[in-house]
A and B are shown apart, each in its own frame.
Chain A
């Protein structure tokens, strides 16, 4: 082996180090993705768009798009790297059910139990998923399993979207997850115009009857009956629905307060951090900046719009069959998408604009949580048919 002179040695070492740096390896796609990551953080911090999701995802995008030389167990797709270990939870679908456990432990289903017919609004809004499936298959040429994974964005439920895409189209997971969470953050911008276009002023002023009081027994029965009914229909939804209802039973049973508290606080926070960061980091420029990603974002927007449209329209049609004193305000139709509680808040805000005494929040929470169940059932159906 030839020994180098000191100057050559220094020159070679510096050159090797230079090749190792991000400055040498950076490409335009990396810069684009870094800007996207910064945009997410900006939207979260300055505009308060879903900060709990967009900060981890945005920073994850920065982590995932620092240029480096492959082969040093650094990247998220390199086996043995720390990021790869954390990403296993996304790839194998561990995180979404854990998040659902927390959602179940946080959610009060009383609004839904008091007025069970609101569940149908949550079901109707799932047309956003299947309408998008049709468009993805027919117009954009996606294979059915890929189309199913993309269409679930219409469920407006990040964990469900990640869970299903990890099973049906793992190669599209990053784009689908980022698209789902981005549009969930943009719900206040997407939904109100559609709600206003579809409703008349009189409909927006409808005051709904206050919900009846719900007994403790009903609240305890709900997760048990809910699990049995939905999972007998769609066993493939078991990981999500099982954990959702389990979390809710912890909350409502009244004897497992510590477990419910941990599930809804510490555990959900930990899993949200890991999920958001690893999903963000999975959007490496080489994997993410493709024509398919643009299509997925377009379909994601379409899915949210159709889901909102079908939810509001369903309430209007449903009202035809209801008695005059039990009519529903169509502004709660948008809450059928399961972006909890964002879309319910939007129902409330839009309602208050037209009548400052018309508080729709609790009424909208019914279809909102029904949307969570509905999208998990829809995911189970897609997994059963296409998985």
Chain B
């Protein structure tokens, strides 16, 4: 392989690895409860602090061997165990981990707790234990049975940055509901369709916008091919001029190139045919063409017929 080929291959591999990494980066800390007196109960009937993760990508994501921690100095504090089918998060799925410092209770019970009345930092690290995927600092003023949650599921500052403007405190009231294991924002209808229903009840705006887009797309395509057509015609003229052994700018020679339509070519071909081999009457000879059959052992007589037994004396 030449140097150019190796360079292209390396370039492709670099992008392939980047794409893989981006899959894991879509994991988000979505909602956190620090003090739980009357809220979500775990699978042992206990009320403990919990952390909700969210797969914000549109593909399934395996999170085992990644790390959850509440200490930036100890990024591998809780390795998410292997071998549990539930650690494969489906697209846009939520998963709740209980911060009860009792990992022997199962995959979703962490080896640390969260401390009420203090800022609680929580981070997720990739399988290398070094790459920070997402982080949040839950404020100390979070009241019991309230959560600190992303305003929109999975929508944060990105690149593992923490930006409090994406987060809000939820107290369980009608507009600030607490939703462990499900969407922070409950979508009960097609918001886009509802907006069109409200703002464009007659469909006029939709029609205008959509027709404009269709026209612009096809006009651009049309303009492109008008240009390509001109370039192609020019190069055809040039080739024809060169074929005639003349200067490509010679007007005399290149005149009439544009009339090389299919019909003109057909007329020239017909004239040549007439000139070289003119005959109107058919020879009235029937020709039987041999049909070519491609050999295959599946259709071979040798394999499909049994050999007659031969008597040997």
Task: Judge whether B201 and A230 touch: CB under 8 Å.
Answer: no
Within 8 A of A (CB), among B200-219: 200-204, 206-207, 209-211, 213-219
Within 8 A of A (CB), among B178-224: 190, 192-193, 196-197, 200-204, 206-207, 209-211, 213-224
Question: Residue A377 at the B interface, CB < 8 A?
Answer: yes
Give bound CA distance, A213 to B258, whole Å: 9
Binds B, one of A173-181, A189-197, A378-386: A378-386
Task: Judge whether A122 and B197 touch: CB under 8 Å.
Answer: no
Task: Judge whether B222 and A210 touch: CB under 8 Å.
Answer: no
Give the interface size bracket for B toward A: 35 or more
A212-B258, A370-B218, A386-B196 known; A130-B232 Cβ under 8 A: no
Total number of residue pairs linking A and B with CB closer than 8 Å: 135
Chain B residue contacts of A100, Cβ below 8 A: none
Task: Judge whether B226 and A116 touch: CB under 8 Å.
Answer: yes
Task: Judge whether B214 and A119 touch: CB under 8 Å.
Answer: no
A119-B219, A130-B203, A374-B214 known; A144-B226 Cβ under 8 A: no
Chain B residue contacts of A373, Cβ below 8 A: 218, 221
Do most interface residues of chain A lie in helix, strand or loop, or is the interface mixed?
A: helix
Binds B, one of A49-57, A85-93, A215-223, A252-260: A215-223
Task: Judge whether B197 and A386 touch: CB under 8 Å.
Answer: no
Give bound CA distance, A234 to B222, whole Å: 17
Question: Residue A145 at the B interface, CB < 8 A?
Answer: yes
Question: Residue A211 at the B interface, CB < 8 A?
Answer: yes
Q: In the complex, what's the smallest C-beta–C-beta distance from A125 to chain B, in angstroms?
A: 10
Chain A residue contacts of B229, Cβ below 8 A: 113-114, 116, 212, 218
Question: Residue A117 at the B interface, CB < 8 A?
Answer: yes
Question: Residue A229 at the B interface, CB < 8 A?
Answer: yes
Binds A, one of B260-268, B281-289, B302-310: B260-268
The residue in chain B whose Cβ has the minimal distance to the Cβ of A145 is: B193
Task: Judge whether B214 and A210 touch: CB under 8 Å.
Answer: no
Question: Residue B228 at the A interface, CB < 8 A?
Answer: yes
A218-B229, A225-B224 known; A233-B211 Cβ under 8 A: no
Chain B residue contacts of A126, Cβ below 8 A: 210-211, 214
The residue in chain B whose Cβ has the minimal distance to the Cβ of A374 is: B214
Name the contact of A130 in the complex, choosing from B206, B225, B236, B261 (C-beta under 8 A): B206
The 7 closest A-B pairs by CB, nearest first: A130-B207, A116-B225, A116-B222, A145-B193, A134-B203, A144-B196, A123-B218
Question: Residue B115 at the A interface, CB < 8 A?
Answer: no
The residue in chain B whose Cβ has the minimal distance to the Cβ of A373 is: B218
Q: In the complex, what's the smallest C-beta–C-beta distance from A185 to chain B, in angstroms?
A: 25
A–B complex contacts, Cβ < 8 Å, 26 sampled = A112-B225, A117-B222, A119-B219, A123-B215, A123-B219, A126-B214, A127-B211, A130-B203, A130-B207, A134-B202, A134-B207, A136-B203, A143-B197, A144-B193, A145-B193, A212-B258, A212-B260, A214-B232, A218-B228, A218-B229, A222-B225, A225-B225, A229-B217, A377-B214, A385-B192, A386-B192
Give bound CA distance, A123 to B219, whole Å: 9
Task: Judge whether B265 and A213 touch: CB under 8 Å.
Answer: yes
Question: Residue A246 at the B interface, CB < 8 A?
Answer: no
Give bound CA distance, A136 to B206, whole Å: 13
Chain A residue contacts of B152, Cβ below 8 A: none
Question: Residue B233 at the A interface, CB < 8 A?
Answer: yes
The residue in chain B whose Cβ has the minimal distance to the Cβ of A230 is: B217
List 4 additional contacts besides A129-B210, A134-B207, A382-B210; criterion CB under 8 Å: A119-B218, A119-B222, A145-B190, A212-B260
A116-B226, A134-B202, A378-B210 known; A386-B193 Cβ under 8 A: yes
Give bound CA distance, A385 to B201, whole Å: 14
Give bound CA distance, A378 to B212, whole Å: 10
Task: Judge whether B218 and A377 touch: CB under 8 Å.
Answer: yes
Question: Residue A271 at the B interface, CB < 8 A?
Answer: no
Question: Residue A341 at the B interface, CB < 8 A?
Answer: no
Task: Judge whether A215 and B232 touch: CB under 8 Å.
Answer: yes
Give bound CA distance, A120 to B190, whole Å: 33
A215-B232, A217-B232, A230-B221 known; A385-B206 Cβ under 8 A: yes
Give bound CA distance, A378 to B211, whole Å: 8
The residue in chain A whose Cβ has the minimal distance to the Cβ of B189 is: A143
Chain A residue contacts of B218, Cβ below 8 A: 119-120, 122-123, 370, 373-374, 377
Name the contact of B222 in the complex, choosing from A120, A138, A145, A377 (C-beta under 8 A): A120
Chain A 197-212 near chain B by CB (<8 Å), digits 1 or 0: 0000000000000111
Chain A residue contacts of B197, Cβ below 8 A: 143-144
A116-B225, A386-B196 known; A213-B262 Cβ under 8 A: yes
Chain B residue contacts of A214, Cβ below 8 A: 232
A144-B193, A218-B229 known; A233-B261 Cβ under 8 A: no
Chain B residue contacts of A144, Cβ below 8 A: 193, 196-197, 200, 203, 206
Give bound CA distance, A112 to B201, whole Å: 37
Question: Residue A183 at the B interface, CB < 8 A?
Answer: no
Task: Judge whether A381 and B213 touch: CB under 8 Å.
Answer: yes
Name the contact of A116 in the complex, choosing from B203, B204, B221, B258 (C-beta under 8 A): B221
Q: In the complex, what's the smallest C-beta–C-beta distance from A254 to chain B, in angstroms?
A: 17
Q: In the complex, what's the smallest C-beta–C-beta distance from B302 to chain A, in angstroms?
A: 29
Chain A residue contacts of B223, Cβ below 8 A: 116
A215-B232, A217-B232, A378-B214 known; A133-B221 Cβ under 8 A: no
Q: In the complex, what's the smallest C-beta–C-beta distance from B188 to chain A, in angstroms?
A: 14
Question: Residue A147 at the B interface, CB < 8 A?
Answer: yes
Give bound CA distance, A93 to B310, whole Å: 62
Question: Residue A22 at the B interface, CB < 8 A?
Answer: no
Task: Judge whether B261 and A119 touch: CB under 8 Å.
Answer: no
Name the contact of B213 in the complex, choosing from A114, A129, A217, A377 (C-beta under 8 A): A377
Chain A residue contacts of B222, Cβ below 8 A: 116-117, 119-120
Name the contact of A210 in the complex, choosing from B206, B216, B262 (C-beta under 8 A): B262
The residue in chain A whose Cβ has the minimal distance to the Cβ of B207 is: A130
Give bound CA distance, A134 to B206, whole Å: 9
